[in-house]
Amino acid sequence: MELAHQPSMFDVAEEAALTPLRGRVRRHVLDGGAWVDHLPGWVRGSDAVLEVLLGDIGWRADRRQMYDREVAVPRLLRWYGRGEALPHPLLTEAHAALDAHYGPELGEPFVTAGMCLYRDGRDSVAWHGDRLGRSRTQDTMVAIVSFGSPRPLLLRPVGGGESLRFSLGHGDLVVMGGSCQRTWEHCIPKTTRPVGPRVSVQFRPAGVA
Ligand SMILES: O=C(O)CCC(=O)C(=O)O
């Protein structure tokens, strides 16, 4: 895939490695039983992972029905199911580290890894909650690790209210937890600013989508 990618000054020299989670993740407690954990720069040397993710890993361009016409989904997608090998060992380590840190609170492991590739500022995801599975009725967690050019993840309460903004790229981690998928919505808005590609890797428990 030919995508112009400007390496980050902080990221390029190092081999990819995780930094500790314990004592460093900051929890934002939100209304309605939701929370968001945030750790900027969780992955050091994240550009090495991005290079692999921007390669030929089976990205798929989806289409969806919008009223009476079919339109292209504005991002590329790749889904890794239970036990499927992830394309970079750092992602396997990240999965294990998330399970070790969040397992006691979540009560189950993260199982799937969904990936989105935002090629430039025209790619986006509209306001939504991940409510297709058990998360429609149950508390859960969705952990997102971001690679490449930062894009804002916005969150707002369902029904309206003040929104929150996390700029996510270059190895940043956010975890949406509690009732967040039911009581809050999130999006990655389009931008007219020139931005390089960003890949988000979302770890979810079984049955959460
Ligand atoms: O790219 C992101 O960080 C968010 C992705 C997302 O909201 C989704 O795929 O449901």
Rounded distance between C-alpha atoms, residue 156 and residue 161, angstroms: 6
Q: Distance from the CA of 9 to the center of ligand 1, in angstroms?
A: 25
pTM of the model: 0.94
> What pLDDT score does 124 carry?
98
Q: Distance from the CA of 129 to the center of ligand 1, in angstroms?
A: 9
Q: pLDDT, tens digit, for every residue of 41-71? A: 999 999 999 999 999 999 999 998 988 899 9
- Pocket residue to mutate for ligand 1, from 42, 188, 190, most atoms within 8 A of Cβ: 188
| Alpha carbon separation from 125 to 13, 39, 103 (Å, rounded) | 31, 22, 28
Domain boundaries, the chain: 26-63+75-204
> What pLDDT score does 66 carry?
85
Which residues lie below 8 Å from residue 17, measured CB to CB, with a gap of 6+?
43, 44, 45, 90
> What pLDDT score does 156 carry?
98
Q: Distance from the CA of 13 to the center of ligand 1, in angstroms?
A: 28
> Which of 102, 79, 95 is closest to 177 using CA atoms?
102
Whose C-alpha lies nearest to ligand 1, atom 1? Answer: 200
> What pLDDT score does 12 carry?
62
- Pocket residue to mutate for ligand 1, from 125, 149, 172, 203, most atoms within 8 A of Cβ: 125
What stretches in the chain show pLDDT beneath 70? Answer: 2, 4, 6-13
> What pLDDT score does 49 carry?
98
> What pLDDT score does 67 carry?
87
Q: Is 36 in the pocket of ligand 1 (CB under 6 A)?
A: no
- Pocket residue to mutate for ligand 1, from 62, 116, 149, 190, most atoms within 8 A of Cβ: 116
Q: Is 125 in the pocket of ligand 1 (CB under 6 A)?
A: yes
> Which of 178, 184, 179 is closest to 161 using CA atoms?
184
> What pLDDT score does 13 carry?
54
Rounded distance between C-alpha atoms, residue 145 and residue 179, angstroms: 20
> Please, what CATH class does the domain formed by 26-63+75-204 belong to?
mainly beta
> What pLDDT score does 199 carry?
98
Q: Is 116 in the pocket of ligand 1 (CB under 6 A)?
A: yes
Q: Distance from the CA of 142 to the center of ligand 1, in angstroms?
A: 10
